[in-house]
Amino acid sequence: MNKTTKSLADFIVKSPTAFHAVDVMKSRLEKEGFTELLENKEWELKKGGKYFVKRNDSSIISFKLPKAEYKGFYIIASHSDSPAFKIKENPEMEAAGAYVTLNVEKYGGMLCAPWFDRPLSVAGRVLVKTGNKNDISAESRLVNIDKDLVMIPSLAIHMNREANDGYKYNAQKDLIPIFGDEKSKDGFMKAVAEAAGTKVENIVSHDLFLYNRVAPTVWGAADEYVSAGRLDDLECAFGSFEGFLGAENKSNVIMHVVFDNEEVGSSTKQGAASTFLKDTLLRINEGFKRNTEQYLMSLAESFMVSADNAHAIHPNYTEKADPVNRPVMNKGVVIKYNANQKYTTDATSAAVCKLVCDKAKVPYQTFTNRSDVAGGSTLGNISGNQVAIPTVDIGMAQLAMHSPYETAGVADLDYLIKFSKTFYSSDIAVR
Ligand code: CO
């Protein structure tokens, strides 16, 4: 594994959930001299300062202010969440008098089959009671039961001879993981409490998810592919973050934005449809003692890159791709187009993106769905409803999107970092 791929792999392993991804970025930002801003406290911004703000501990915006007055906001946005199974309330269930299983439900639109027959574990956050008996006070704590803990076993072929002829998974029957044998009763929340460094009775509530334990790996004839969980969209979050940290901002506020809940439509208080970005922009505007007109002027000078991974052409299903616009891994930034504007790219924003790629010496390619396929959506057009600025949708090409073990191109990570750094460090004049 080369150095950048290793850093991405470390980031992914340390980020089993959106909460962890945000926490890893927070630590890095603090190390790099960024100051945390709290949404419930006044902000004192200084020109040339570096700051970050979190919402729900699962979305994070970091930004660097220029030393002089700024023109606009240059933003790269990605998402922290990935499809997974969420642990339901009262999770333990008894099965066959011989097992304790966990009651889970789907978060996002995942491929189900690859969750079977592999070690899984549990991570997320718990709210731990603080203060005295009648105080309404609790604090959030990250949890990662960092061991092979649960498994969703397949049914043997002998008991379903049609298993290889296509199968419709029932989320309440087929996808229930085993936690332990009958002696493990009442042990699940104990394991969670232990990982959180507290007692079961102190845990008031939880947001916990299953995650895949298979370690990231590099493979292929020339080590050209990297496989890992959550490449969608931690590859974009990580690559744009590296570019952001390495960039110099001359006349713009540069911002790295990571939203939660993209996989479930973004309509949460911390999602791309929320006011999180807008509120942050308004507070920066206030901090510079600018009026409303100046705010609107700065938006008109701004640009956003919505970065979420793209589908590489699949060797076994070439008929699923557009006849012409078929991205491949290790061939650079994928610019995504959709006539119905599920992707925000238009001629203007594509021009910006292509010119940034040229300047960065990063190749680019294009993605469109086949005209008879609906395709997915992402965060750019959703965020645009709160903060309307020119936006391009990009991603890095990958296979097996929404599997718990996805595949991308090793070279593309470096391309993304170079692209991001160049974007943040440039002045854009495309009208
Ligand atoms: Co995504």
Q: Name the band, by pLDDT with cuts 50, 70 and 90, for residue 328.
A: very high
Q: How far is the CA of 11 from the centre of ligand 1 (A)?
A: 17
Q: How far is the CA of 100 from the centre of ligand 1 (A)?
A: 33
Q: How far is the CA of 83 from the centre of ligand 1 (A)?
A: 9
Q: Does pLDDT of 412 surpass 90?
A: yes
pLDDT (tens digit, 9 = 90+) per residue, 51-60? 999 999 999 9
Compute, in degrees rounded to 10, the torsion defined by CA atoms 20, 25, 29, 30: 10
Read off the pLDDT of each residue in 318-342 and give the average, rounded to a whole number: 96
Q: Does pLDDT of 375 surpass 90?
A: no
pLDDT (tens digit, 9 = 90+) per residue, 219-261? 999 999 999 999 999 999 999 999 999 998 889 999 999 999 9
What is the distance between the alpha carbons of residues 321 and 366, in angstroms, rounded to a whole number? Answer: 12
Q: How far is the CA of 179 from the centre of ligand 1 (A)?
A: 29
Q: How far is the CA of 232 from the centre of ligand 1 (A)?
A: 5
Q: How far is the CA of 362 from the centre of ligand 1 (A)?
A: 22
pLDDT (tens digit, 9 = 90+) per residue, 257-295? 999 999 999 999 999 999 999 999 999 999 999 999 999
What is the distance between the alpha carbons of residues 58 and 20, in angstroms, rounded to a whole number? Answer: 8
Tokens standing for 102?
A: 């966990």
Q: How far is the CA of 90 from the centre of ligand 1 (A)?
A: 30
Q: How far is the CA of 233 from the centre of ligand 1 (A)?
A: 5
What contacts 288, CB < 8 A, 6 or more positions away?
45, 47, 69, 70
Determine the residue type at 414.
Answer: D
pLDDT (tens digit, 9 = 90+) per residue, 120-137? 999 999 999 999 989 999
Q: How far is the CA of 311 from the centre of ligand 1 (A)?
A: 10
Residue 151 vs residues 48, 87, 119, 191, 352: alpha-carbon distances, Å:
50, 14, 6, 16, 46
For every residue of 46-106, which 3-state class applies, written as one string? Answer: CCCCEEEEEECCCEEEEEECCCCCCCCEEEEEEECCCCEEEEEEEEEEEECCCEEEEEEEE
What is the pLDDT, as a whole number, of residue 431? 82
Q: Is the pTM of this model over 0.95?
A: yes
Read off the pLDDT of each residue in 411-424 and give the average, rounded to a whole number: 98
Kindly list the protein residues that place their beta carbon closer than 5 angstroms to ligand 1, a single-atom ion: 232-233, 308
3-state secondary structure of 149: coil
What is the pLDDT, as a whole number, of residue 185? 97
Q: How far is the CA of 205 from the centre of ligand 1 (A)?
A: 28
What is the distance between the alpha carbons of residues 337 and 347, in angstroms, rounded to a whole number? Answer: 10
Across all residues in the chain, what is the average pLDDT? 96
Q: Does pLDDT of 376 surpass 90?
A: no
Q: How far is the CA of 81 from the centre of ligand 1 (A)?
A: 8
Q: How far is the CA of 353 from the centre of ligand 1 (A)?
A: 19
Q: How far is the CA of 240 from the centre of ligand 1 (A)?
A: 14
What is the pLDDT, as a whole number, of residue 189? 98
